Every structure is written in C-alpha cells, then in structure tokens.
Structure 1
Amino acid sequence: MSDATSRSISKAEIGRYGVWSVGLRNEDPARRGEIGEAAAELQELGYGTAWLGGSSAPVNALPLLETTDRLIVGTSIQSIWQHNAKASSAGYFEVDALHPGRFLLGLGMSHAKLAEQYNRPFTALVSYLYQLDGAGVPPERRVLAALGPKTLMLSTDRALGAIPYLTTVEHTAEAREMMGQEPLLAPELGVVLETDPARARALAREHLAMYLTLPNYTKNFRRIGFTDDDLRDGGSDRLIDALYAWGDDDRIRDMVNSFLAAGADHVALQVVHEGSPEDLPRAAWRKLAGILF
C-alpha cells in the first residue's frame, strides 16, 4: 500500500462546505466534459468536496478529479448491495493510483425498497467493511451514511466518520456528542434558493416525497422528535423547515452554519430546484458560494 493510498484526508482538505449532486455522477460520455468543467468551477469557487449523489462508484469520480488538483471527491452513497466489496476495492485503488489522496469512498446500507438482497443491513455493512480491510482499503479513506446510533458509532471505529443524509441540526448535535470530536461529521443539507415560503416548501416537499416512503428515514425522524402528523401530506412545515435551508441570503447562511455550530465539520449542500436531478445547477452553486464564502 502506498503512502498516498494509506494517508487520511484532513478536515481542512474536505472543507467546511461541499456540493452534493446526482448530476455529478452522470455516466453519459457526452457529459464528461461538462462535469469536468463544473468540478473545476466548484474548486475555483472554494468548495472543498464534491459528493457524487446516488449509488455511485469510484470510477464516477474520475471526470471531476481529472480537471481539478485540490477538490476532494466522494461517493454519497455507494450501496453495499449494488457494488460488492471486491469491485469497490478495485475501483478505490484504481482511482487513488491516478489521483492520490483525493477520493473518499462513501458507503451506505440503502433501503429494503431499493435493494432485493436487503437483509440484516447492519451486519452486512460490518462484513463489507471487513472485506475492504482485507483488500487493504484504509478505514481513514471511507465514510458511512449513518443515521442511527449503531451506525454512527461504527463510522467512528471503522471509517473516517459519518455522512448523514436528510437530517437536522438536532441530529447533528446528538451525533457529535455520541461520536466525539475527532471523527468527520459531514451531513447533507437540501437548499432551496427561493424566498417565497409557499414556493420553497412546495419544492422541498416534492423532493422529500420519495424519502417519506423509506422507513430508514421516517424512523430517524421519529427518533429525533417528529410525529406521525409531521410525516403526513408531504411533511409539516416544521419538518420541511428543519430539513431544508430556504429563504433570503441571511436565512440560508444562518441555517447552513447552524449545522457547523451544532458540531458538523462539513456540510454537503444539495440544491433542490425545478427540473431533472441530473441537471448541474451551476448558477445556484455560484450563488451559494457568494452567500457562504
């Protein structure tokens, strides 16, 4: 194992702010140049990390790494059911050999509704991590999509840290207390660049609809204090306002930074907008950079 492969990626390199996007993992060869250009701009704007949304694989990071020299790129998340540990390990080493020290392997257990093999997911994740250990993939170069206490603690022992998806400031504070100060804590946060409350919440509810059908998320919402009433009809205003940053520049900045104040090291910002999730909302990323940097 090379020093480049074995070294950890520092919190400073990951940065305080990153971008989460399904569009960045697009596998269409015709869009490779567009994705590379977007990655170069993200680096220039000051974002520390680009997160490849959906069940992406290490190879999906290459178009972004090829056009940048500092940007960290991570999968968020690679499903342990869709990509086996052997293939995942091979992909990790291929990418790290080409771009040493700039790739994070983000892993998650996905959902029963989305994976036919889904069975005893926590046990499967632990086994997967042991297989990665055996292949030589270092724990400090992988992160886990953790929500519940067991997986959060696993992320402190068997990975660099946690990348919770679709969660709140309160959950972030609880996770930090549970994990301690050293592990990485990098929650995702949806951002709606809309000042009209009705319009902003409508866009957020449209985005949230699928997730409200997935018990892993609804169980977590209940665990952190939301009720069945909050989960009905697309989500209560209270739920929406806890999960999404929207409003004017000051309100969005305050919401994003409240995650950092609660203990997050990094916030992965997902722009929620009209149109396809495969779009690259570059104008919105520029606006967000202007708000935050």
Structure 2
Amino acid sequence: MELGRLGVWYSTDKLDGPGLMALARRVEGLGYGTLWYPESRGYESFSLAAHLLASTTRLRVGSSIANIYARDAFTARRGLATLNALHCGRFILGLGVSHIPMVEGVRGHRYDKPVPAMRTYLDGIQADTQEDWPVLLAALGPKMLELAAKRSHGAVPYNVTPEHTAQAAAILGPGKVLAVEQKVCVETDKSKARALGRAELARYMTLPNYVNNWLRLGFTEEELKDGGNDRFIDAMVLSGDAATVKAGLQRHFAAGATHLAIQPVHAQGDVAARDAMLAALADL
C-alpha cells in the first residue's frame, strides 16, 4: 500500500461538487500522495470516493473513515473492489466504528462494543477470499490497534499526538501502515490560531472515544473543559510559521508514522488560506 509520505485530510462536507474537484486536483498538483475524507452527515463515502478518483489521475483516495454501520460488509467489499477496478487501484478503505451519537442518534442502529463489532465486520469483508484488500482501521486504543495489526494493513488514527503515534507504532509492529492525521494552522498569531483550533475541535469534544483517548494520553479533565486549554489546543492543532509547523509534523515521523495526513484549519470558506497552507507544507 503506497500512500506517499504526505497526504491531506479534509472535511469534504464543506464543499460542493466543483469545490471537491478543485481540492482533489490541488492536492494532486502539489504532490501529496493521498487525499483522506470522513463520513459524517453529508456525502456517502463510496460515492464521494468515486467523484474524487474521477477528478484525478494519480492521487490515491482514502476514507477516513467509512462508518461500518453505514453499509454491510459485503457491500463495502464490493464497493472497494469496484472503485479499485475502475480507478487503477487508487482507493484505500479506512474503516471505523464511528460514535454513539452518529450511530444511534443519526442512523438509528445499536452501537455495539467497538472491537468485536469491527472484528465481525472484517470477517464479512475477508470471507471466502484470498484477496489482500487495502483496508486500514481507525484505531485509538490498544485493543483496536492490535486488531488492526492482525487483520488489516494498519491504522489511521485521528486527533492524536506524537506520543500516541509512538504507542501505535509499537503495537502495530514493522511492515504496517500508520497513517496519522494532524491538524495544522500556518498562522503566527497564536490567539487567532487557537480560536480557529477550538472552533474546529468543538464537535469532537463531546465524543467519548476521543475524550477517553486524550485522557489516556495524559490530558486531564480540567484541560479538556470549556473547549480545551492552550496546551491541549496546541497539541491538537500545530500552529506558527511553516517551519514551526513542519518541525511539529516531523515529530510524528520520528515516532514511527509511515504517512502523515495534514488537515488545514482555517476560517469557514477561506479556500485561499487552505490552499496556501497546503502549498507551504508540501515539501516536508
């Protein structure tokens, strides 16, 4: 699974069709290896992947993540096979268990225990075939990371620190993909960067999967109150000039990341700022 050294993670629900095409072509043109996107309340994951793949010629496209409660395992397997057959093997299926509000509140399903639910889903994808499917798991805790090591090509952690990257690399072991997402804001005004960071992180602060992982990483409940204190925000959103941000990104590689997906954090609709950040960091 060749992802390239650097990729881009972006909240694609913010964009319309032409905007998505422009983003994908911009990412490809700057030399990034992979474009990652989520599945939340907007675009359906596999349909969106088809649009992004059709908009580019070399760029790999990865779901980060496709929600296992959004489609059964057989459908995911056929979607994975179809996209790769039609687009020269450029699609990577990142799978995740999502979060209780998204699964029970939005989709109306029952949220099962994460690791057994993912194991059963992988059984369905991998059943009756020797195909080496390009699958990664959204893994934060040690048990899901262990499952990723045994049953997939690796992991796509989100909202993590270099300390988590080191732990994940140790659990995954050699030969596995560790594609880490990291938010960035190329902005030297620290107060402005932190305000943008808090706005971006707000939707994650009430989700137990992330909160529990932050507590495991050593942040305290006090530090996570009221949108997060400065130490927490600075860890989640690397900010400063381009050289400072690059130095922070390098810490993930030093900790064992095999691929880094940078997520530009900017004011709503400020595509120019997004593209400027991507250009400034493309030569890491």
Instruction: Mark yes or no: TM-score above 0.5.
Output: yes
For structure 2, the residue ranges without an aligned partner over 5 or more in a row are 105-109
> Could you tell me how far apart the structure 2 residues matched to 1:52 and 1:282 are?
19
1:24 to partner: Cα distance: 6.9
1: CA distance, partners of 2:91 / 2:25: 16
The alignment's C-alpha RMSD in Å is 2.0
Give, in whole Å, the separation in 1 of the partners of 2:80 and 2:14: 15
**1:155 to 1:101, Cα distance in 2 relative to 1, 3 A:** same
Which residue is equivalent to 2:5?
Answer: 16
- Range moving further from structure 2, 106-115 or 48-57: 48-57
Given the alignment of the two structures, is residue 289 of structure 1 paired with residue 282 of structure 2, yes or no? no
Alpha-carbon contact 1:75-1:106 (below 8 Å) kept: yes
Q: CA deviation at 1:135?
A: 6.5
SS at match of 1:210: helix
Cα distance in 2 for residues equivalent to 1:275 and 1:137: 45
Give the Cα separation in 2 of the matches to 1:108 and 1:261: 26
* TM-score after normalising by structure 1: 0.88
Give the C-alpha shift of residue 32 in structure 1: 3.0
Tell whether 2:81 aligns with 1:93: yes
Aligned 1:74-85 pairs, distance under 5 A: 74-85=62-73
SS in 2 for 1:50: strand
1:258 aligns with 2:251: yes
The structural deviation recorded for 1:286 is 4.2
- 102, 105, 109: which one aligns with 2:90: 102
Show the counterpart of 2:142: 149
Q: Distance in 2 between matches of 1:182 and 1:67?
A: 31
SS of 1:106's equivalent? strand
Query: Alignment identity in percent?
Result: 41
* CA shift for structure 1 position 52: 1.6
Compared with structure 1, are the counterparts of its residues 248 and 218 closer, same or farther at alpha carbon in structure 2 (3 Å cutoff)? Answer: same
Identify the residue that residue 30 of structure 2 maps to in structure 1: 45
Q: How does 1:103-122 map to 2 (within 5 A)?
A: 103-116=91-104, 117-122=110-115
CA deviation string 1:104-132 (max 9, x = no partner):
01100111122112122211110000000
- Equivalent-residue separation in structure 1 for 2:266 and 2:51 (angstroms): 24
Instruction: Render the CA deviation track for 1:249-283: whole Å, top value 9, x for unaligned.
Output: 1111111121111111111111112115xx7x365
Structure 1 runs of 4+ aligned residues shifted over 4 Å read: 135-140
Q: In the alignment, is the contact (CA less than 8 A) between 1:59 and 1:91 conserved in 2? A: no
Partners of 2:193 and 2:236 in 1: how far apart?
12
- In 1, distance between residues paired with 2:184 and 2:103? 28
How many residues are matched? Answer: 275
Q: State the SS of the aligned residue for 1:125.
A: helix
Pick closer, same or farther for the CA change 1:38–1:212 going to 2, 3 Å.
Answer: closer
Equivalences for residues 53-92 of structure 1 within 5 A = 53-55=38-40, 56-92=44-80
TM-score where L is the length of structure 2: 0.90
Distance in 2, matches of 1:291 and 1:93, equals 33
